[in-house]
Chains A and B, each alone.
Chain A
Amino acid sequence: MLATSVLAPIATGILTTIDLDDSQAKVAALLGFIGVAVGVGVQQPFTATMTVMSPKDVSVALGVLIFGAGIGSSLFVAVSATLFQSRLAYEVSKYAPGSNMTALRHAGLSDIRKTVGSDHLKDVLFGYNEAVIQTLYLPLGLALLTIVGSAFTEIKSVKKKRE
């Protein structure tokens, strides 16, 4: 868990530097790094809970953890959607003033290029990229916040002799 709290902020932090012209390999490698950083710690809260709780309470305690996990995904996707929408409006009108935001929002991802037209596509995409990056600060914050969980988990050996 501590390893995740150290590695994940680094990985998510670097991911916020992506821009329009980065190579695919760089972005894919960064995603792999995030996967490893989180994967190192992702099972450990469950192991910790199983070690600490008595057999009678384990299933409810694990239920609490799974509840936390579900809330984590759904809550922060909702938060990030709000964040992204407002940043998108702000950034695109900053870099490509006069863009029709309602048309852009309704165009969907794959039709941006058709809706915008080639003359100021680059500017709109630049704003789009900025909005994505600013939304990616949210995972960075979450990565930093994992340290609270890591720090407060009781340290107990899983060694055989304990049982």
Chain B
Amino acid sequence: MRRRLASLFIPTILLVVSSVGAHGQQGTQNGEWRFYGGDAGSTKYSPLDQINPSNVKQLEIAWRWKAENFGPRADYNWEVTPLMIGGVLYLTAGSRRDAVAVDAATGETLWMYRLDEGERGDRAVRTQNRGLAYWSDGKNDNRILLISPGFQLVALNARTGLPITNFGKNGIVELTEGLDREVVKPGQIGSSSPAIVIRDVVVVGAALAAGSAPSSKANVPGYIRGYDVRTGKRIWTFRTIPRPGELGNETWEKDSWQYSGNNGAWAPLSGDEELGYVYIPVEMPTGDFYGGTRLGDNLFADSLVCLDARTGKRIWHFQTIHHDIWDWDLSSPPILTDITVGGKKVKAVAQVTKQAFTFVFDRVTGRPVWPIEERPVPQSDVPGERTSPTQPFPTKPAAFDRQGLTTDDLIDFTPQLRAEAEKIAAQYRTGPLFLPPIVRDSGGKLAALILPNHTGGANWPGGAFDPETGMLYVSSVTNPDALALVAADPKRSDMGYVASMGGRRSGNAGDPPGGMPRLAAGEGPGLPNIGPQGLPLVKPPWGRITAIDLNTGDHVWMIANGDAPAAVKNHPAMKGIDLSKAGKPERSPLMVTKTLLFGADGPGLFNAGPGAGGKALRAIDKKTGAILHEFMLPASTTGIPMTYMVNDKQYIVVATGARGTPAELVALALP
């Protein structure tokens, strides 16, 4: 009888804790993981401490959940982070992005929802999936929100997986409507990241086809929209490409607002339930490396935009790049950070970027926490292009990765390798951050060497924030890439200039000047190294994790992302050279708890250096960066780890996979 009473009381107590904890506190609550980024602020922080430095070495696999048979082909690049609510994991799985509920303690499949979208699904612009959103009315109405590959918003009953029939049309809302285009064709717009629900409004971003070599300067705009979570009715639209009369329309010269597209928000979104604001990391417009078809600053491209979640009204914005021609769009969720700067408490938001900056703002007003200066930058000499004379540079924190490239950055493991590296670098145009792309083979140069390259510095794994210490952890890559434009054949594209594969030649004549890297068995080719003999051109670390104290803006420590890839370690020219702290050229997916920082080699599947990725999951000392434990997973980590507590047991769950190894979730726990 006593036990029965206790079980009756527990939900009531949890409910009270939950409603108190929902406001004004960062990190996950009650051992759950309710948002893609842990909490609405994307801190990826959990206060759980059962797994700690004293016992982390005892971690073992508790269960595995295989995604292999979800979708028509086995997925292996599974960027998902599950949610955990009430002992159930909710996730997207497989190349068709099915929604699945899994018992968080055992890994048993509870339900699955599969939407066959026909051609619009087959032609989905983005097949990756990162997860789901969750909403509850605090009583019995608990919903899972899925954005399908074909760009439909689906509301499911969290308990049964069945569509909520009075949401939209039988549980589905058409997302291709209301985009100021008469026709939106399959394969033009979608979303790889989940929606976020703030103040009962489902906020939906958008991902579009990458614009390296588009057939047209015209595309669909990636507007941000808000939908009533109960009915599915569209409440508001925020035009990321403003129309006449709207703020910023004048930044699209020659009426380029009329046809330009992209400018969505493909990264996950963040929000503040207490303020009622959502924070949108907007990407760049059509034309990744050439903007002659869209002269001007192109607001709200590359802007962090704060919107009122209920109305979609813009509260503030900050453009991190004017007239982007580097594809340095905002690629990770803004991180809400309550910090104390100069003795004053600040509700802040931090945005880490591909160009390796951390922009920090007061998230209520948009005022920079530390001054941001407009500084002169190099100018483009590509016909028809006009770059912005200045770009924003935060005065603090310092950049978390190398920016721009000089001779000092070239590898110098041996005098011979240095000489070879200098000879290779001389074939390219080099310079500081914001060096523009050049026309291929112009001025006697093959291309411009861009560092960070167009995939960043940081990218979608972003960072993690510890609200108890004010420490921001961010992972990044140091991998320059050759970027050049070629004139587009007018019968194939009206862009003027395009740059598929960054303008690298793809034929036999396109091998990097230093030769192709020799890969070890199982290693992916990735972006080719352009250094001597297929080695990286610049000094390590090639992948790193940086700890930044956001109370002071100072860097505290930096560590390499493990050792070098086998392709580099086993290279004959590297014999006898210590590469144990050279770092895998991939972004470590980070998650932080009360006791530990967790990172991993990362996937190394796309847009990373040759041989990137690996099986190691690492427990890291938060204060020093010391590696406390390495756990070898069955395959590479492809998603960001998450953690939760069920039946008094803390679990860490992470998505894994590799070429030839289908995706699966791996759950770790203490014995």
Chains A and B form a bound pair? no
Q: Which A residues are closer than 8 A to B by beta carbons?
A: none
B interface vs A, CB < 8 Å?
none
